[in-house]
Chains A and B, each alone.
Chain A
């Protein structure tokens, strides 16, 4: 018999003697022998299920507030109009920085006048375009402030597809509800729809583990095939930082340092 069982017995005995004032000792002994197991297990199970329901079902409902985008947007329709795919609107600037969500400047060419009769289009032109106000889009993939992510390194250098991280948003006809984490203020899409953190596709989550997963895979590939290793890349990078102009970088984006390298990745 383990020490734990002994303790349990002692506790049970205590409970029995507490109740001694109202019930007879015989009945008490009987209950102690076989009775307690039922309710104890039942309560354990009730507690277990209640907390599981709380954690898996109620908690996510409490954690996220649902917000509608200021106006709706049809990616499919726009993709049909442009030639350059995603990069037509979500483009890279000359200095390699990524423009992100389009500003009015990009929309204004076509949307100076109302196009069609959808209420969202009318609202867009009247509320935003003609007043010169930027649309306060809720960005599903916005990372916390401290996260430095370079699109150019992934898309241009590594040749990754937008879909790998962002999924098939380009094929959507309307914008989904934005679920905002009440504690952090960021979108639910970062942690992923599944509160348990499970994912089927690469674009289901955008946490650091997901970055690491891909990076680990790529590193393993490179090491196996002997193509440019991370060490080699690091050395190249350091050479560029220590003596700018001697390696790949052209005139940098900082007037003072003339080092493009810093500002391409360390944004």
Chain B
């Protein structure tokens, strides 16, 4: 029999018929459709037992309570904690995305020691034992040489047990150089200290206020405790509360406010005094408060009446005098007025004059330590550790002046002046910094004039980072001792920013540590024990957790169950006891502040001829700009008029753009006296002519591919400007020029 073509075709035909009659094609179709639904990158929800853990978010100073949903051992969702005094169930986009920080690729997984040149990104893994003994040896050597004061510590906070452990360690070791990262809180603390004699945080009773005069504060852009502010802002919509937003740029807050008043940048203090002028002139102030509880009002009154007439203020601020008068009247006549300051998220301290002028407005309407007003909230005094014993070396070290000049003759009232540190190191006039520790901060990214900061860091021979993530500062460290992520550790969170009554939040482990990390508190205790002597004596605790439990005492059980400790019966003391100044009264014009001198705008860097424009940074709730960078989810929410691809947009008024011959989307070169960068032009009617604005929070070189290399870090373009009284960074912007690229 011959197999010819016909036979073959017939065979195929038979095969086709048989295949169609067999389950093969149908089963393969079904299986391949299932196969296409199972790509390895398709996220599959965990299956298992659901549970919830109450904790606190520490990604910003807001201190929101969080409830984390878990499936078995995996955290799958972060939600706001119901009935928490700060956020009552709400949460911001950064807080919601926290799991990407926990499980994401930017974690430092084990202690790392630099190999090769600093910043090259070459590391070797070392054991915790070796890491701690290496630090102990370096610190021990410095101490032996009598150079204990050359050790510095930059911390994101100075409140709560963890920062207090840092402080305790430095004290017994012998260095005065604990430095907190700056914010508007610095200026407020100083204002409260000088005007009310209080060592306290500012607290604002937004929930009971109904007329908010905001000098550029980003109420819905992340100022204070962001979620609390969102809620307050929504509540004002319902209750008829008014928000007046004063700032040169139409921010989200300005757009959502009842009235937006554009002002010449940096002249807010003059406007505050101009408003005071009208209130005093028309006798709209709270005479009862002024007469009984204030000091220096007459001098201040004379000064304000003499210098700040509506016309001269109109010239300075660019706001017409009728608006100023109307504003003053509506503020003073409102039943619960409240004035606040701190630009954007309050990232920079700003000028002290501005803060005292705004605070004085609250005093004028008798709004101090009163429902709907400003409170001086002392830190809850639950940390009562035994006194430390200092040896001679420690005592000698603590006698040395601080490297940043805080508390010096020039700036006697300031507590921390991180902005002055790079210059102090670079000039080498005082003493060199031989070792630097960084915890809860990312100074190489957040400090202005990044180049100078980098130069200063390069001069420090030994840098240790406690960061959980490979951030810019960790990248440039010699040793990284990674802390547990915030969802893996215990920590107390005393009174979040702007709360009018004390609260202690508790951050607690939601999941087991995912990597070979250690609680920074434990590392400090281990370090102290390794160094022996008085240091070891001062840190008798077995572990940080034991220390925290012991510190909290009877509060521990409650805080574990509820997730926070509040003081529901907290009432501000009677007016007679509110002020701890020399006079025992509210000081309108403390002489230390030089507040009776005529307003002088902050002298920002750059001259007008070479740099005809003004550049100011702006803050957005969609861009984390502190020690933390945006996780991928939040990055996705950034508008493409802010960032497109890797290009950042600079906001510019169409009129100014026209003068420069720039069109929408065009590339331009932005130069300031500090640096230059390529930007894309975005025409925006909501910004004053002559002003350009860039967002904070971009231009990271560290973190993951979703964040790194996108846009530019505005801190590379702006330098710090020292406030003459506080020494804090008063810069709100910098002069700039824009040219076609």
Contact = CB atoms under 8 A, between A and B. Distances in A.
Interface of A: 11-12, 15, 19, 36, 39-52, 54-56, 59, 63, 93, 95, 97, 99-100, 144-146, 181, 183-186, 191, 195-197, 253-256, 263, 267
Contacts, number: 131
Contacts of B741: none
Interface string B6-33: 1110111111111101111011101110
B7 A255 contact: no
Contacts of A42: 7
B13 A47 contact: yes
A12 B9 CA distance: 12
Contact of B37 (A15, A93, A145): A145
B15 A51 contact: yes
A127 to B, nearest CB: 21
Contact of B79 (A54, A56, A185, A255): A255
B6 A56 contact: no
A183 B35 contact: yes
B42 interface: yes
A191 B27 contact: yes
A191 B6 contact: no
Given A59-B24, A255-B67, A256-B80, A48 B18 contact: yes
A99 B50 CA distance: 10
Contacts of B45: 267
B15 A56 contact: no
Task: Give the residue among B22, B35, B42, B47 with the most A Cβ atoms within 10 A.
Answer: B22
A12 B6 contact: yes
Given A55-B24, A184-B38, A256-B89, A36 B14 contact: no
A101 to B, nearest CB: 10
B47 A100 contact: yes
B582 interface: no
B10 A40 contact: yes
Nearest to B32: A183
4 closest A-B pairs (Cβ-Cβ)? A55-B22, A47-B14, A51-B18, A44-B14
A185 to B, nearest CB: 7
B49 interface: yes
A184 B47 contact: no
B23 A144 contact: no
Contacts of A196: 23
A190 B28 CA distance: 14
Contacts of A39: 1-4, 6-7, 10
A254 to B, nearest CB: 8
Contacts of A146: 37
Task: Give the residue among B3, B5, B42, B47 with the most A Cβ atoms within 10 A.
Answer: B47
Contacts of A95: 50
A12 B4 CA distance: 11
B34 A54 contact: no
Task: Give the residue among B10, B13, B38, B89 with the most A Cβ atoms within 10 A.
Answer: B10
A234 B434 CA distance: 71
B82 interface: yes
Interface string B73-90: 000000111100000010
Contact of B22 (A46, A54, A181, A184): A54
Nearest to B37: A146
Contacts of A93: 49-50
Contacts of A97: 49-50
B31 A183 contact: yes
A184 B67 CA distance: 37
B87 to A, nearest CB: 12
A47 B10 contact: yes
Contacts of B14: 43-51
Contacts of B32: 183
B52 interface: yes
23 contacts: A39-B3, A40-B6, A40-B10, A47-B12, A47-B16, A47-B17, A47-B18, A51-B17, A52-B18, A52-B22, A54-B19, A55-B21, A56-B22, A59-B23, A93-B50, A145-B37, A145-B44, A184-B31, A184-B34, A195-B27, A255-B79, A263-B50, A267-B45
B69 interface: yes
A72 B24 CA distance: 32
Given A40-B10, A146-B37, A50 B69 contact: no
Given A40-B6, A145-B44, A55 B23 contact: yes
A195 B49 CA distance: 35
A59 B27 contact: yes
A267 B19 CA distance: 39
Contacts of A44: 10-11, 13-14, 17
A13 to B, nearest CB: 11
Contacts of B44: 145
Contact of A41 (B10, B34, B37, B47): B10
A11 B6 contact: yes
Given A49-B18, A145-B44, 4 more contacts: A39-B7, A39-B10, A40-B6, A183-B32
A15 B34 contact: no
Task: Give the residue among B5, B8, B15, B81 with the most A Cβ atoms within 10 A.
Answer: B15
B22 to A, nearest CB: 2
Given A48-B18, A59-B24, A256-B80, A184 B35 contact: yes
A62 B380 CA distance: 71
A99 B26 CA distance: 34
A145 B38 contact: yes
B81 to A, nearest CB: 8
Nearest to B22: A55
Nearest to B13: A44
B10 A51 contact: no
Contacts of B89: 255-256
A252 B160 CA distance: 35
Contacts of B23: 55-56, 59, 195-197
A56 B24 CA distance: 7
Contacts of A40: 6-7, 10
Task: Give the residue among A44, A185, A186 with the most B Cβ atoms within 10 A.
Answer: A44
Contact of A15 (B5, B18, B24, B26): B5
Task: Give the residue among A15, A183, A191 with the most B Cβ atoms within 10 A.
Answer: A183
Nearest to A11: B6
A183 B34 contact: yes
Contact of B15 (A48, A63, A144): A48
Nearest to B38: A145
A54 B27 CA distance: 13
Interface in B30-74: 30-32, 34-35, 37-38, 42, 44-45, 47, 49-50, 52, 67, 69
B90 to A, nearest CB: 10
Given A12-B6, A45-B14, A145-B44, A54 B24 contact: yes
A186 B38 CA distance: 11
Contacts of B81: 255
Task: Give the residue among B11, B28, B31, B69 with the most A Cβ atoms within 10 A.
Answer: B11
A57 to B, nearest CB: 9
Contacts of A255: 52, 67, 69, 79, 81-82, 89
Nearest to B81: A255
A152 B720 CA distance: 63
A144 B38 contact: yes
A52 B21 contact: yes
A51 B14 CA distance: 8
A146 B42 CA distance: 10
B34 A43 contact: no
Nearest to A58: B24
Given A15-B5, A40-B7, A50 B18 contact: yes
B31 A181 contact: yes
Contacts of B52: 255
A3 B8 CA distance: 22
A232 to B, nearest CB: 29
A51 B67 CA distance: 59
Task: Give the residue among B3, B6, B89 with the most A Cβ atoms within 10 A.
Answer: B6
